[in-house]
Amino acid sequence: LGEHFMLKITKFGGSSVANATQFKKVKGIVESDPSRQYVVVSAPGKRTASDNKITDLLYLLDAHRQYHVDASNVTKIIRDRFLSIKNELGLKQNLEKDLDEFFANLAKMNQAEIVSRGEYFCAKLMAEYLGYAFVDAADVIRFRMDKTIDWDATTKKVQAKCAKYDHFVFPGFYGSNANGQIQTFPRGGGDISGAILARCINADIYENWTDVSGFLMADPRIVKNPEQITHITYSELRELSYMGASVLHEDAIFPAKEKNIPIHILNTNRPQDKGTIIQESIEGEQPYAITGIAGKRGFTSILVYKKHMSNEVGYIRKVLSIVEDYNVPIEHIPSSIDSFSIVVADSDVEDILYEMVARIKNEIKPDYVKTKSGLALISTVGRNMSAKPGTSGKLFGALGSNHINISMIAQGSDEMNITVGVKEEDFNKTVQVIYDTFVTKEKK
């Protein structure tokens, strides 16, 4: 069986549908493979770095509506963007009327409905341009009232649409609840819509077309010309994207993973590139001992010290329950005999750090509490690390000989990643040293 008999979901992100030129690229890609029957689109994104995303403009429009400010400036930009695509491609639908109606009815709409119109209008244009049917996500993706996906209802609807139409275009980012109200996914959630469709039809592959040729082993703003990751497992990708490598929405992985559907990241502007394939397990030799490096700045560690702490049952729990009272998610808890640290994101403790520390001091009475901000966390991820002895030795050795002080170490229990905490000023250098150690010096 060739590629042509595959059941595929093909999703294009915002920059792939940003203007008429991008629409033409999409058409070329879709028409070059007959199995690209079901196409999902985002709303038009940025054409240049300083441009606006339609979805951002729609949020802005909603804010104007909410505060009763005249929004004609914003509606004009949105209108012009969509009409220029329609006119440049010579499409016939009465988009002018649809847009007028939309802008006239803003007062009756909620935020989700307003911001969903970016993908809605984009999908209508794309459907006409490709000669495919338009299928509204509101009729297909069903949310329960608790905002989770109703898989039974959604699967039935998706399958029914696929039975009815050989080809369709589907707007990403939204669905509807049992009351018929529009509900959106988190920002960037068009990727989730595509993954849901793929799961519902048990697709052979979920293609996700964007503006980069997949994942790189490190951030190209830090490492010059990093190597491409051609194959990565879902779990490795989870680790890397949690730590800041962003190409695909994190929540798009679960639906695909459940049915073991490979996700293929591809570049609309360079369709000849191989891209990155994300799947459950990967056979064969891996080029390097690690798969990738990612990291984030902006962490604070709170060290709690008490002599003979390890003899006191329930001590850590008492401290953690205070942190929990403030609703602060915890990244890591490195510990030793008489102390442990809680590593949290600065953004989660901005307003409450001192209050929370004061409570820990008053209620738990440790010998002392020390907070340290300006921490960066860097994860080195690789499915083969556990099998290869010496990986962590090599990592720490390299950082040490480059005078990078490690203030925290955490290794995942699945031995698939090693995370180090360093000073924010050492962030770039750390990524570079790890890359050089495991990639540059190992290049064959």
- If you search the block for the tokens 């360079």, which residue do you land on? 270
Stretch that binds ligand ASP, among 99-107, 189-197, 278-286, 424-432 (CB under 6 A): 189-197
190 binds ligand ASP (CB under 6 A): yes
Quick check: 256 and 195 in contact, CB under 8 A? yes
Instruction: Using CB under 6 A, count the residues that bind ligand ASP.
Output: 13
User: In this chain, which stretch among 27-35, 80-88, 154-162, 185-193 interacts with ligand ASP, using CB under 6 A?
Assistant: 185-193
Report, in Å, the least distance between residue 154 CB and ligand ASP.
18
Q: Is 117 in the site for ligand ASP (CB under 6 A)?
A: no
Tell me if 335 sits within 8 A of 306, measured CB to CB. Answer: no
Distance (Å, rounded) from C-alpha 14 to C-alpha 47?
9
Region of 88-96, 182-190, 211-219, 274-282 interacting with ligand ASP (CB under 6 A): 182-190
Nearest to 322 by CA among 282, 362, 286: 362
Cβ 187 to ligand ASP, closest distance in Å? 4
Look at residues 327, 382, 316 and name the one whose alpha carbon lies nearest to residue 355: 327
Per CB under 6 A, the list member of 18, 171, 172, 345 interacting with ligand ASP is: 172
Tokens representing residue 356 in the block? 């929370």
Please state the separation of Cα 297 from the chain's center in Å: 18
Told to check if 173 binds ligand ASP by CB under 6 A, we report yes
**Rounded distance between C-alpha atoms, residue 7 and residue 171, angstroms:** 19
CB of 185 within 8 A of CB of 173?
yes
CB nearer ligand ASP, residue 118 or residue 421: 118
- Judged by CB under 6 A, the residue of 171, 188, 194, 292 near ligand ASP is 188
With CB atoms as reference, the residue minimizing the distance to ligand ASP is 190
Q: How far is the CB of 185 from ligand ASP (least distance, A)?
A: 7
Whole-angstrom Cα distance, residue 206 to residue 199? 9
- Report how far Cα 337 is from the mean position of its chain's Cα atoms: 38
Residues within window 243-262 making contact with ligand ASP, judged by CB under 6 A? none
Q: Which of 14, 194, 214, 226 binds ligand ASP (CB under 6 A)?
A: 14
Which pair of tokens denotes residue 99?
A: 């847009």
Task: Enumerate residues 35-64 that contact ligand ASP by CB under 6 A.
Answer: 42-43, 53, 55
Tell me the residue length of the chain. 444
Residues that bind ligand ASP (CB under 6 A): 14, 42-43, 53, 55, 118, 172-173, 187-191
